[in-house]
Structure 1
Amino acid sequence: MDLGRPAKGDRVTVDGPPHALTDSERAWLRVRDQLKRHRHELAVAAAGQYPAATHVAGTPLLADPRWLPPVPIDLSEVDLQLVPDRPAGGLTGREPVSEAMRPLRRDGSRHDTYAAAVATLAPPAVFANLPTYRLLEADLAGGRGRMVFRLGRYFDGLNVGEACAHEYAAHVLEGGGQPLRAAVGDPRDLTRRAANLAISTLTLRLDRAAGTATFLLHLRDPAKVGHAGGLYQVIPAGIFQPAGPAPWNERNDFDLWRSMVREFAEELGGEPEGHGSDLAPVDYAAWPFAARLTRARAEGGVRVRVLGMGTDPLTFATDLLTVAVFDAPTFDAVFGARVDANDEGQVLSALDGATGTGIAFDQANVDRLTRREPMQAAGAALLALAWRHRGVLLRDDPAQTG
């Protein structure tokens, strides 16, 4: 799911600039275009600004030691806390230090935020400021995981993180400083900015009889998405947020597994979004797809582990890294009729434009995707960690985790 799904009444309908562009807006658009075209190269370069010890498994993704468990932990072992009234703090993207990322309008005023400039000057197909669960604290290294959230909005993350990416692109293309990035400081410090957590899931189909495992990829379409367009990513992946903006969804959807189920349904099953959440909370027990997937998890046909968390060095997008291992019969029963494309791009079951039933989970493909292909930093780190922990993830006895 794109990281900012519009609900009814929230869709941005601007097809282009509604007025003659200023020189400032034209310059902003030139940099924005280069950012969209060269995200992967810019992310790799931006990663070089941070110590190698902060990189996850040799990839550009950055992590705090507290974010990386020594061995994968079961999803059920991550405890969540929602503190809706806790002060947010950190930069908002409206400070004077962000002015260069907010171009001047014809009347001499600046666009209020970076997201406002995107919405007016270069909107993707869908772009909306929906509610999210903003991450405040995370510790995954102590045997059990603990994550603390408050309520937030999608644009909160863009107004600082995507603005910093724009600033870095301008720095590379035109020279100049990076005052906004400097103001953020360590991107792993969740007190300095809004961190809207995404859940990135490597979906493995494990064929025990053949002794093989395969996976799918997502090629994100830059015309459709507001984040990571043109890059490969694991599938499914999406922001951790309520199913819709109605207040009854806030508590009902504050669950990592429920968020993942919705992403599986939308990105692989082609199901529509929302699931009636504008009228009532989603009834996951009555929803056939969710009930089937949850039953499979309870029976051991699918096992979900958390491998860690990290932050993109370019955009500061923050991802929980998870692996869902499906036994082949369960995968085939649930996703046998999966889609080849969705609202965000293509679903790939082979590389190089070939046809196939899945990409082999092997050393060659992991090396290729983590080192030589334009892979989103979170996806690259997740593949590398999954390969490192393959003995645990693919073990015959799913009850053993250490």
Structure 2
Amino acid sequence: MRNSTPAFEVPMSPSVQPYGSHSSWRGVRRYLNEHRHQLAQAADRLYPHLPKVGSTHLLTREAWTLAHPMELHRIALRWADRPPVPVVTGREAEAKAALPPGIPTYAQAMEALDRPRLFENRKCYRLLDVAWPELSFTRGHYFDGLDVGETAAHEFAAATLLEVTVRPFRRLVGDPTDLRRRPALPAISMLTLRRDDHTGTMTFVLHWRDSARVAHGGGLYQVMPVGVFQPAEETPHAETCDFDLWKCVVREYAEEFLGRSEAYGDAFDYGTWPLYRELTAARESGRLRSSVLGMGVDPLTFATDILAVTVIDASVFDTIFSEVTASNEEGHVVGATGIPFDEASVSRYVHDEPMQAAGAAVLELAWKHRQALVS
């Protein structure tokens, strides 16, 4: 982690005018999707006094980064029925310059003018506080995060194109790691390491996220699986039953590694689901270990990620994931035969490839803690 002073400053200039046409808004949106990696690196420089995860540009707080890996099942989740209302929602006057004429929110703009294949305002678990080993949550919805994060990213892309420092909405958000100011809907970014039982060497696969299919993180590499922490269905029963990090992780393995649909049904029973039973049995026998390494926020979009890694014995991996899908609903798989988990590969994807900030952070932290992850 670098830089530990909590001071915060974003340059401010007079406000820009809203878009004059839908086509001009689409042009900036296209530029944003095509240059997310470069824009995230540039946005990182707006926060010189916020801590970063290692050498990456993922923003964090000192209390968010764990000194040692913490097993996923040891994290306690707390629910808040009366949460604080976010200070910033994306409906403020400062957001209007990033919106096309006649459309009041960024999610509605995407729905009308640039709708990706996967685009639903589903229930999510909104993160309120991080106090390891406890995380506090309440109810949120997916578009809550888009209306703030993608608005700020769009505004930054427009300012970059115009070569100005006009970012009134980003200034309004303030410190992106302040969970009281905005809706933070975390994803679990899980690096999966297949460990050879005999040699001890490990490999991993990556996900190339397709900007035509996803609302966030398109055109970037990412670890897999990754999924927003949310219930499988919209019902109160699912919201209660699925308030569990491990259940979310297993569903993402099914969807990203095996190409399973996201449709589960409210009567879905994890206890009788073969994949859930097999992965849970492997975890309980010590042949699979899922650990959390910290938490971070993307400097461009404010996407918030729980940084985690799963180490799976090769015999278990090869049985359960014998046929990793080449593509899924969010993109395609890179390195299905295994990318070596070594210093050269980690350095390549952390520093040289267009990697999502959270993915780069997970890879770097996993390499740092590689001995602890298997001991």
TM-score (norm 1): 0.87
- Name the count of aligned residue pairs: 356
2:20 matched to 1:28?
A: no
Q: CA shift at 1:349, angstroms? A: 1.6
Alignment correspondent of 1:247: 236
Residue equivalent to 1:4: none
Select the residue among 110, 121, 131 that pairs with 2:113.
121
| CA shift for structure 1 position 368 | 0.5
Q: Tell me the distance in 2 between the aligned counterparts of 1:95 and 1:232.
A: 32
Query: Is residue 368 of structure 2 the alignment partner of residue 380 of structure 1?
Result: no
Q: What displacement does 1:394 show?
A: 2.4
Report the Cα offset of residue 52 of structure 1: 6.0
The aligned residue for residue 333 of structure 1 is 319
- What residue is the counterpart of 2:280 in the other structure? 294
Q: Secondary structure at the match of 1:349?
A: strand
The alpha carbon displacement at 1:24 in A equals 2.8
Amino acid of the residue matched to residue 28 of structure 2?
A: V
The corresponding residue for 2:247 is: 258
Structure 1: distance between partners of 2:172 and 2:96 = 13
1:204 and 2:190 are equivalent in the alignment: no
Q: Does 1:111 align with 2:97?
A: no
Which among 319, 322, 331 is matched to residue 345 of structure 1? 331
2:152 aligns with 164
Check if 1:270 corresponds to 2:259.
Answer: yes
Residue 88 of structure 1 deviates from its aligned partner by: 2.7
What residue in structure 2 maps to residue 18 of structure 1?
Answer: none
Q: CA deviation at 1:314?
A: 0.1
Give 1:23 deviation, angstroms.
3.3
Answer yes or no: is the 8 Å Cα contact 2:118–2:213 preserved in 1: yes
Aligned with residue 362 of structure 1, among 342, 352, 359: 342
* Aligned residue runs from structure 1 range 4-43, under 5 A: 23-43=20-40
The amino acid that maps onto 1:152 is G
Correspondence for 1:86 among 83, 86, 95: 83
Is residue 84–residue 180 contact of structure 2 (8 Å, CA) maintained in 1?
A: no
The Cα shift of 1:31 comes to 0.8
How far residue 53 of structure 1 moved from its aligned partner, in angstroms, is: 5.4
- Separation of aligned partners in 2, 1:220 and 1:362: 23
Code of the residue aligned with 1:163 in structure 2: it is T
d(CA) in 1 for partners of 2:297, 2:149:
10
Q: Distance in 2 between matches of 1:45 and 1:161?
A: 16
Partner AA of 2:91 in structure 1 = R
Question: Please, which of 138, 143, 146 is the counterpart of residue 134 of structure 2?
Answer: 146
2:137 maps to a residue whose letter is F
Partner of 1:134: 126
* Paired residue secondary structure (1:358): strand
**Secondary structure of 1:54's aligned partner:** coil
Distance across 2 between alignment mates of 1:84 and 1:206? 41
Aligned AA for 1:55? K
Q: Could you tell me how far 1:198 is from its partner in structure 2?
A: 0.3
Cα deviation, 1:176-223, whole Å, max 9, x if unaligned, reads: 510010011110000110000100000000113122100000001111
State the SS of the aligned residue for 1:135.
strand
Aligned to 1:217: 206
Correspondence 1:100 to 2:97: yes
Out of 155, 161, 176, the residue aligned to residue 173 of structure 1 is 161
Give, as a single letter, the amino acid of the residue that structure 2 aligns with 1:233.
Q
CA distance in structure 2 between the partners assigned to 1:363 and 1:125 by the alignment: 36
1:67 to 55, 64, 69: 64
1:289, distance to aligned residue in structure 2 (A): 1.0
**TM-align CA RMSD:** 1.2
**Identity of counterpart residues, as a percentage?**
49
Deviations 1:325-380 (A, max 9, x none): 00110111110122111011111126xxxxxx200000001100000100000000
* Alpha-carbon distance between aligned partners in 2 of 1:54 and 1:268, rounded to the nearest angstrom: 33
Aligned counterparts of 1:327 and 1:90: Cα–Cα separation in 2: 45
TM-score normalised per structure 2: 0.93
Three-state SS of the structure 1 residue aligned to 2:290 is strand
Provide the secondary structure at the position in 1 that maps to 2:91: coil
The offset of 1:97, in angstroms, is: 1.1
Aligned to 1:398: none
What CA distance in whole angstroms lies between the structure 2 residues aligned with 1:84 and 1:232? 36
Contact 2:50 2:61 in 1 (8 A): no
Q: Given the alignment of the two structures, is residue 227 of structure 1 paired with residue 216 of structure 2, yes or no?
A: yes
